[in-house]
Amino acid sequence: MESWIRVLILVACLFPAVVECRVRHFKFNVVMRNTSRLCSSKPIVTVNGRFPGPTLYAREDDTVLVKVVNHVTYNVSIHWHGIRQLRTGWADGPAYITQCPIQPGQSYVYNFTITGQRGTLLWHAHISWLRATVHGGIVVLPKRGVPYPFPKPNKEVVVILGEWWKSDTEAVVNEALNSGLAPNVSDAHTINGHPGSLSNCSTQDGFTLSVESGKSYMLRIINAALNEELFFKIAGHKLTIVEVDAVYVKPFKIDTIVIAPGQTTNAIITADQGSGKYMIAASPFMDSPVAVDNLTATATLHYSGTLSSSPATLTNPPPQNATAVANNFITSLKSLNSKNFPAKVPLTVDHSLFFTVGLGINPCPTCIAGNGSRVVAGINNVTFVMPTTALLQAHFFNIKGVFTTDFPGNPPTTFNYTGAPPQTLQTINGTKVYRVSYNDTVQVVLQDTGIIAPENHPIHLHGFNFFAVGRGLGNFNPKNDTKSFNLVDPVERNTIGVPSGGWVAIRFLADNPGVWFLHCHLEVHTTWGLKMAFLVDNGKGPNESLLPPPSDLPKC
């Protein structure tokens, strides 16, 4: 394209209300920036010097081009979490899965079209622990002229929850890998980048949500934390939930939501209380004996006309182990399943898979602090080993020796998954994928194990949304539990919490050719190997086939 035309389009596209732009260009400069929180300052990796990073706004059907330029000394890749990437796996972003990382001084243009999706998602770095500070919102507006299936709120606000470490997060993960032990927990939670007043060390009260009496606000809440599920609530105000993971749900009102890393929730609030200030709180949810950062992040909902010196109405966050509060939210989620937004639940299953998810212990002669062993994690007893060539490249160019297609559909031995631990806690290492044909239907029962500790694992699948058709405590019982599956209006999402000591069943249609990562979205567990990939073969003809890679695809 002529460069003056490109400039003209770029300028015009800054005014989406005036001009319809089907192609949106963004530039993400990955740069270091000194940032202070909790009375100390450290250099962090950012996009465009911002923390959290810029929100990417687009519309359904838009083509998005993001030029990512790596100005830091780390390798970088960016994932557009929840964007389906139909036939464009090259733009998905997980390092060594769909692309080699962008090396220092290099750049890569992520090029994808947003098809059949609208709502809130997030983008984040997908290599090592860089997503701690390299993340931001994605807002996909409905096609022009298509309304929300609920009354349009007066205003919309992106609310990003995160975690802050005083030390460098790359040092935190490297120390854990050397010792074989669990990494340190974070030092604070954040709401739009700020821990707020409860951290005893803030120069300000944190993020302020300014409201006008009588108006309604849609909060696009994103959990961008590395390792912690969070409760979120606002003193004196009910949340009306209308969407999760960019899929509409049947609206319901609730006091407290729970949101796992990688998940998003759209909640509408009405400023219907007496003017004043009200506390917004984000606090950890962990219902198993695992260490967490127990600090509550706070922000303030501020009615216009209220003096800034007036005290805020406080709220008590739920206790850390409040399983019932979490379940109350989770079991209320149902697909909207309307004429315009039907729930297309697969009613038959071509691949019925049973995946145990949990921890293990492997020998590690160099792990001195860990006494010669290290904590690992895996699926069906396989601890995933990252390749040095991206799986998608190996698949497309038929490079042998990078992965094998023998990922097991069942655990190697059956045991009482949520009871006493099995004889050996050791896992096997491997770079294994599970292969399916185009348009196959897949059911995966994700079963938590009690090995070391039962724990809630938020499992994320790239390339697809899935339906959460069943959920329960203890061991999944195929005879009885299948009968109570919801095949009518189950929630549709891209990240689902496997309850501590329980299971969840998901179904999806493999209508997207490529290699798609599935992993726990607690970065600590991903690091330990709780990950695998699906390989979906091409269907018939070009419309059912993976596109060829772009010419600037990074090299390893």
Least CB distance to ligand C2O at residue 137 (A)? 13
CB of 515 to ligand C2O, least distance (A): 12
Residue type for position 296: T
Over the range 332-367, which residues count as b (16 or more CB within 10 Å of their CB) and which as e?
ebbbbbeeeeebebbeeeebbbbbbbbbbbbebeeb
- Binding ligand C2O by CB under 6 A: which of 74, 207, 517, 534? 517
Q: Is 497 in the site for ligand C2O (CB under 6 A)?
A: no
Residue 126 as a binder of ligand C2O (CB under 6 A): the answer is yes
Of 92 and 440, the one with the shorter C-beta distance to ligand C2O is 92
Cα distances (angstroms) measured from residue 440 to each of 97, 251, 507, 511, 554 = 21, 31, 11, 7, 31
Binding segment toward ligand C2O, per CB under 6 A, in 50-58, 279-287, 395-403, 515-523? 515-523
Q: Which is nearer to ligand C2O, 318 or 529 (CB)?
A: 529
Distance between CA atoms of residues 385 and 488, nearest Å: 38
Ordered strands of the 40-47 beta sheet: 40-47, 23-37, 63-70, 107-113
Residue nearest to ligand C2O (CB): 81
Which residues inside 243-262 make contact with ligand C2O, applying CB under 6 A? Answer: 262
Under the phi-then-psi rule, with left for phi > 0, alpha for psi from -120 to 50, and beta for the rest, what region is 484?
alpha
Q: CB within 8 A of 387, min separation 6: which ones? A: 96, 394, 402, 403, 431
Which of 261/370 has CB closer to ligand C2O? 261
| Secondary structure letter of residue 346 according to DSSP | -
457 is a contact residue toward ligand C2O (CB under 6 A): no
Give min distance, CB of 81 to ligand C2O, in A.
Answer: 4
List the x/- string, 281-310, binding to ligand C2O by CB under 6 A: ------------------------------
Which region, judged by CB under 6 A, interacts with ligand C2O, from 361-369, 396-404, 418-426, 516-524? 516-524
Alpha-carbon span 538 to 411, nearest angstrom? 28
Evaluated on CA atoms 389, 392, 397, 402, the torsion sign reads positive
Residue located via tokens 């039962």: 454
Report d(CA 245, CA 341) in Å as an integer: 14
**Residue with smaller CB distance to ligand C2O, 125 or 345:** 125
Least CB distance from residue 409 to ligand C2O, whole Å?
A: 21
Beta-bridge partner residues of 362: 374
Identify the burial level of 233 via C-beta atoms within 10 angstroms of its C-beta, where 0-12 means exposed, 13-18 middle and 19 or more buried: buried
Cβ-based nearer residue to ligand C2O, 507 or 525: 525
What's the closest the beta carbon of residue 376 comes to ligand C2O, in angstroms?
19
Is position 124 an interface residue for ligand C2O (rule: CB under 6 A)?
yes
- Over the window 67 to 106, marking each residue x when it contacts ligand C2O by CB under 6 A and - when it does not, the resulting string is ------------x-x------------x------------
Separation CA 155–CA 152 (nearest Å): 8
Number of residues that bind ligand C2O (CB under 6 A): 11
519 lies in the binding site for ligand C2O (CB under 6 A): yes
- For position 220 contacting ligand C2O by CB under 6 A, the verdict is no
Tokens coding 137? 């919102």
User: Taking the complex as a whole, how short is the minimal distance between the CB of residue 521 and ligand C2O, in angstroms?
Assistant: 6
Rule CB under 6 A: choose which of 24, 460, 471, 525 binds ligand C2O: 460
When the beta carbons of 117 and 315 are compared against ligand C2O, the nearer one is: 117
CB atoms closer than 10 angstroms to residue 13: 17
Cis-peptide, bond into residue 318, ω within 30° of zero: no
* CA distances, 401 to each of 93, 224, 388, 415 (Å): 22, 35, 11, 32
Among 24, 59, 237, 462, binds ligand C2O (CB under 6 A): 462
Per the CB < 8 A criterion, the answer to whether 64 and 114 are in contact is yes
Footprint (CB under 6 A) of ligand C2O, residues 427-456: none
| Shortest separation between residue 517's beta carbon and ligand C2O, angstroms | 5
CB nearer to ligand C2O: give 407 or 417. 407
Instruction: Please choose, out of 291-299, 430-438, 514-522, 541-549, the segment that lies near ligand C2O by the rule CB under 6 A.
Output: 514-522
Query: What DSSP character marks residue 76?
Result: B
- Which residues contact ligand C2O (rule: CB under 6 A)? 79, 81, 94, 124, 126, 262, 460, 462, 517, 519, 521
